[in-house]
Amino acid sequence: MVDIKAEPFAFPARPKQLALIVIDMQRDFAEPGGFGESLGNDVSRITKIVPDVKRLIQGFRKAGLPVIHTMECHRPDLSDLPPAKRDRGNPLLRIGDEGPMGRILIAGEPGTAILPQLAPIDGEVVIEKPGKGAFYATDLDDILKRRTITQLVFAGVTTEVCVQTTMREANDRGYECLLAEEATESYFPEFKAAAIAMIRAQGAIVGWTAHVDDILEAIHA
């Protein structure tokens, strides 16, 4: 076991049971013309974390630890997209509509792809998820159990929605969760700050948070 400097206290990492989960670092959320921008968001807030997410991915690969990627996307026939999700808000483009990078958040479309700087390599798991949480309607839990993974480090977007939702799902399933602070982001800085506070409140009720440098230093110790 190796302690990772974290808040609210050190994270007791067991490297042989540790994996990195990178949530939804997709073109539709990070590039102009994608779904994120159609909602009126400043996507540059997402692209600014790419170097830290990349460092974290490379660090886990170098340490021989699993890296798992998630992509929020739906079937072309929209059979896994409930109206309550598609009709929410007032975006310029809705899920399934034709956009500058193909149909918005549809599996196999260019905009749904993970950013090329962070693309999975051979052997890395990619989870296609129809919901905000990565455990809903996927086989993520089975994959982790088969690999005897009990601890998860999280990166990706957005902090308060898909990242926090997945951390809470993981916590309910008995996984210990650590969020890499510089490797996650929101379109709203106050939402990121609030999510981080909620995650580590009351003695890490949902999980821990740590800086990327401290995570990398510990896993390579």
pLDDT tens-place values along the chain, 221 residues long: 999 999 999 999 999 999 999 999 999 999 998 999 988 999 999 999 999 999 999 999 999 999 999 999 999 999 999 999 998 877 788 999 999 999 999 999 999 999 999 999 999 999 999 999 999 999 999 999 999 999 999 999 999 999 999 999 999 999 999 999 999 999 999 999 999 999 999 999 999 999 999 999 999 98
Q: Please give the model's pTM, rounded to 2 decimal places.
A: 0.97
Active-site residue 73, yes or no?
no
- Tokens linked to 164: 């926090």
35-44: long-range contacts (C-beta < 8 A, 24 or more apart)? Answer: 35/91, 35/93, 35/95, 35/99, 35/104, 35/105, 35/111, 36/187, 38/91, 38/92, 38/93, 38/99, 38/104, 39/89, 39/91, 39/92, 39/187, 40/91, 41/187, 42/187, 43/187
Give me the catalytic one of 28, 52, 73, 129. 129
What is the predicted pLDDT for the residue at 187?
Answer: 98
Catalytic (active site) residue 24: yes
Rounded to whole angstroms, the Cα distance separating 80 from 66 reads 28
- Give pLDDT, residue 221: 86
Question: What gap in Å lies between CA 98 and CA 93, rounded to an integer?
Answer: 8
Q: Give the pLDDT score at 195.
A: 98
Q: Are strands 2-4 and 11-13 parallel, antiparallel or unpaired?
A: antiparallel
pLDDT of 90 reads 76
Please identify which of the residues 52, 73, 132, 162 carries the catalytic annotation.
Answer: 162
Task: Give me the pLDDT at residue 89, please.
Answer: 76
- C-alpha distances out from residue 125 to 69, 159, 194, 213, Å: 6, 21, 30, 24
User: Which residue blocks in the chain are alpha helix, DSSP H?
Assistant: 27-30, 35-38, 44-47, 50-62, 83-86, 140-146, 164-172, 189-204, 212-219
Establish whether 162 is a catalytic residue: yes
Q: What is the pLDDT of residue 88?
A: 81
